[in-house]
Amino acid sequence: MNLGSIPSLENHSALLGLALLVGVLVAFALERRPPVVIALSSGLLMLLLGFLSSDELLRVFSNPAPITIAAMFILSGALLRTGTLEEVSGWVIRRTLRKPKLAVAEIGAGTILASAFMNNTPVVIVMIPIVQRLARVLRISATRLLIPLSYLSIMGGTLTLIGTSTNLLVDGVAQEQGLAGFSIFEITGVGLVSLTSGLLLMTLFGKRLLPDRAAQGLDGQLESDAYLSSLVLLANSELVGLPLDKAPFVRRPGLQILGIQRGKQVQRRDLKQWVLAAGDQIMVSASPAELASLAEESDFKTGLAGMGGGVATARSRRPRDLRLVQAVISSSHPIIGRRLAEIPMLSRLRVTVLGLSRPRHVAGPDLANVRVRAGDRLLIAAGGDAAQALQANVALADVEETTAQPFRRTKAPVAIGTLAGVVLLAVFGFPIEAMAILGVAVVLLSRSIEPEEAWGAIDGNTLVLIFGMLAFGRGLENAGTVDMIVDWLEPLFSASSPFLLLLGVYAVTSLLTETVTNNAVAVIMTPIVIGLAEAMGVDARQLVVAVMFGASASFATPIGYQTNTLVYGAANYRFMDFVKIGVPMNLVVGLATCLAILYIY
């Protein structure tokens, strides 16, 4: 017998459900356990109490919203894997150097547009170092720009149904409640009003409300991500005979040309018109992903090869089990003070040292002749056996496989076209969940992204949290808690105007979102506002849209929305920095959003 069948509990099931709801919200706010654990436990608790049957629990997994969200994660991952976002960031950086003030507007517009059609977390991850560089060019503190970056990504996500997982989730729950599904651009009008109000506030008052202090941590992170390497141009390369500035690889955003050596001649300035010849050694500073991409190309011999020629660098000869490993030179390593070309692993293992990274600056003069120091980090391409030997090497520390992968730039048009096709087909009335799954099939079949990389692109914590909260929400409905809350709220709002009702729903949702994960708030609030609308005889669609926007309007704390957390950790921010500008943002954007909902709906 489950607890839900005990008579004393059956008579007070609604109150018990309310107590559980309060307990779950408190648990989320206290953050003693990860949100995914709280959500999963709350759903299973509903099953144990008898408020949720095993059949209903299984039906939770048929909700189309989480499936669509997972598919959109994969499509976003394909854009990253093909270097699409990297190319966009490179274009922005080049524009920044030429017209830095105009670049601020372009970065903002690009962030908004990208966030409207893909998950905004990878967008912000890519844009953070770009904004940091822009701040240095403009000679202002990055703390002036990083909070606005997060806010723009949040507001950009509200422009379309697929811009944020919260919108898709609210739509899925609303459809289960009998409401007609939302089209992909149905909320765009409201989103534009919300975005405009937020932009006006930041433009007019941002200078007073945003902190102005030096950011810390990110500069070091950028420098430690830059690896010194060397590219030896092969005789069969199509680049031979081209001026350097005409070579496509020089425009890659993760790459900086440091110099070129031909024989004993070394050129470090005026390189644009240097005509490339076979055997030229091009000294570069590059990101791990960019070095991995160059190592797969047949134009160069990349890095320092180990015994027997090391790991083949041409794509056609690359072993299937090749791994990219990062390792730190320990203080006891015998190579310290000597040239990197003399490192013992090159004479013992079939590996290629692709690059060397040194904290706070780029080493030199070139990869082979750099004098090794303790703490230098190596990027190594190795087969499975060699990788195990590296991990067993006591003279190396922090040996681990890197997540960096070579970009598949030739597949970029496929990834871009697939996402555009999903959006266009959804506009013409095709089910968004079916189109998103079809898009996943296309990027997998085209090898724009490999299956293991696709599954890695999915945020499993987000999906499990959503499934757990969907189960918990269904349990609250079965327990009568939702009806009870509606009965309590109806007298309070019965004499209110439609606008005040919208403001109330938006305010409660937004307040909860600042302390509780937004997807959990969306699942809880959606059935409540639909029930309230039915009880009061008003349009439920208005209130559901208010929940969509309120659940994304997390401006006042760094913990309510993931992009806020990202920029919080990337700069020298304090909690109150978000409160100072976030509270006015919540008020102004909330008021404008509710007025837009009332007018449009």
Instruction: Based on the fold, state whether residues 374 and 452 are members of the same structural domain.
Output: no
Instruction: Please state which of the ranges 424-433, 447-456, 546-555 shows the lowest mean pLDDT.
Output: 424-433
Q: Whose CA is closest to 343, among 391, 304, 381, 293?
A: 304
- Tell me whether residue 457 is exposed, middle or buried, using C-beta atoms within 10 angstroms of its C-beta: 0 to 12, 13 to 18, 19 or more: buried
Report the residue count for the chain: 601
CB atoms within 10 A of CB 490: 13
CB 561 within 8 A of CB 554: yes
Distance (Å, whole) CA 450 – CA 452:
6
Instruction: Based on the fold, state whether residues 169 and 78 are members of the same structural domain.
Output: yes
Residue 361, both tokens: 């600056």
pLDDT at 334 over 90: no
What is the residue-wise DSSP string for 405-465?
----GGGHHHHHHHHHHHHHHHHTT--HHHHHHHHHHHHHHTTSS-HHHHHHHS-HHHHHH
pLDDT at 472 over 80: yes
Residue 230, domain member (yes or no): no
pLDDT at 561 over 80: no
pLDDT at 99 over 90: no
Most confident of 218-227, 317-326, 520-529: 520-529
Residue 488, domain member (yes or no): yes
Instruction: Based on the fold, state whether residues 185 and 317 are members of the same structural domain.
Output: no
pLDDT, residue 2, reads: 52
- Tell me whether residue 102 is exposed, middle or buried, using C-beta atoms within 10 angstroms of its C-beta: 0 to 12, 13 to 18, 19 or more: exposed
Average pLDDT over residues 317-323: 54
pLDDT, residue 490, reads: 73
Residue pointed to by tokens 């914590």:
461
Share of the chain above pLDDT 70, in %: 90
pLDDT, residue 9, reads: 52
pLDDT at 276 over 70: yes
Most confident of 184-193, 459-468, 533-542: 184-193
Residue 567, domain member (yes or no): yes
Residue 376, both tokens: 């230098």
What is the residue-wise DSSP string for 338-350?
SBGGG-THHHHSS
CB 539 within 8 A of CB 484: no
Residue 591, both tokens: 């008021």
pLDDT interval class at 532 (50, 70, 90): confident
Residue 542, both tokens: 């208005």
- pTM for the whole structure: 0.68
- Whichever domain contains 390, its CATH number is 3.30.70.1450
Instruction: Based on the fold, state whether residues 432 and 477 are members of the same structural domain.
Output: no
Q: What is the pLDDT of residues 438-456, one digit of tens each?
A: 999 999 999 999 898 888 8
pLDDT, residue 292, reads: 83
pLDDT at 1 over 60: no
pLDDT at 217 over 50: no
Average pLDDT over residues 571-585: 86
pLDDT, residue 590, reads: 93
Average pLDDT over residues 553-561: 79
* Residues whose CB is less than 8 angstroms from the CB of residue 476 and which lie 6 or more positions away in sequence, other chains included: 17, 20, 21, 46, 51, 482, 524, 527
Q: Is pLDDT larger for residue 364 or for residue 97?
A: 364
pLDDT, residue 223, reads: 43
Instruction: Write b or e for each residue in 299-308: b if 16 or more Cβ atoms lie within 10 A of its Cβ, otherwise e.
Output: bbbbbbbbee
Distance (Å, whole) CA 494 – CA 517:
29
Residue 432, both tokens: 């968004």
Average pLDDT over residues 385-393: 80
Residue 177, domain member (yes or no): yes
Most confident of 62-71, 201-210, 469-478: 201-210
Q: Is pLDDT larger for residue 317 or for residue 202?
A: 202
Helices (H) and strands (E) counted in the chain, each on its own, are 25, 10
* Residues whose CB is less than 8 angstroms from the CB of residue 70 and which lie 6 or more positions away in sequence, other chains included: 458, 463
pLDDT, residue 10, reads: 55
Q: What is the pLDDT of residues 144-188, one digit of tens each?
A: 999 999 999 999 999 998 888 889 889 988 988 889 889 889 999
pLDDT at 219 over 70: no
Q: Whose CA is closest to 475, among 41, 15, 56?
A: 56
* Residues whose CB is less than 8 angstroms from the CB of residue 182 and which lie 6 or more positions away in sequence, other chains included: 161, 167, 171, 174
Instruction: Based on the fold, state whether residues 122 and 35 are members of the same structural domain.
Output: no
| Residue 249: alpha-carbon gap to chain centroid | 26
Instruction: Based on the fold, state whether residues 399 and 417 are members of the same structural domain.
Output: no
Instruction: Based on the fold, state whether residues 486 and 519 are members of the same structural domain.
Output: yes
Most confident of 360-369, 487-496, 576-585: 576-585
Residue 14, domain member (yes or no): yes
Share of the chain above pLDDT 90, in %: 15
pLDDT interval class at 218 (50, 70, 90): very low
Average pLDDT, the chain: 82
Average pLDDT over residues 212-231: 62
pLDDT, residue 11, reads: 57
CB 302 within 8 A of CB 272: no
Q: Is pLDDT larger for residue 61 or for residue 93?
A: 61
Instruction: Based on the fold, state whether residues 142 and 164 are members of the same structural domain.
Output: yes
Q: What is the dihedral of CA 184, 186, 190, 196, to 10 degrees?
A: 50
Instruction: Based on the fold, state whether residues 115 and 197 are members of the same structural domain.
Output: yes
pLDDT interval class at 225 (50, 70, 90): low
pLDDT at 29 over 90: no
Residue 276, domain member (yes or no): no
CB 40 within 8 A of CB 61: no
Determine the Cα angle at 530 with ends 527 and 535, to 5°: 125
Rg (CA), the chain: 27
Domain count, the chain: 3
pLDDT, residue 313, reads: 43
SS3 of the chain: helix, strand, coil, percent, to 5: 60, 10, 30
Q: Which of 423, 457, 491 is the last residue of a domain?
A: 457
Range of 358's domain?
304-403
pLDDT, residue 545, reads: 94
Phi, psi of 455 (to 5 degrees): -70, -35
Instruction: Based on the fold, state whether residues 389 and 315 are members of the same structural domain.
Output: yes
Residue 2, both tokens: 């489950």
Q: Whose CA is closest to 48, among 2, 81, 80?
A: 2
- Long-range CB pairs of 428-433 (<8 Å, 24+ gap) are 429/183, 431/64, 432/68, 432/161, 432/162, 432/168, 432/184, 433/64, 433/65, 433/67, 433/68, 433/71
Residue 30, both tokens: 């206290």
Q: Is pLDDT larger for residue 97 or for residue 543?
A: 543
Instruction: Based on the fold, state whether residues 423 and 525 are members of the same structural domain.
Output: no
Residue 251, domain member (yes or no): no
Residue 229, domain member (yes or no): no
Instruction: Based on the fold, state whether residues 90 and 159 are members of the same structural domain.
Output: yes
CB 135 within 8 A of CB 144: yes
Local structure of 20: helix, strand or coil: helix
Written as one letter, the residue type at 512 is L
pLDDT, residue 321, reads: 54
pLDDT at 427 over 80: no
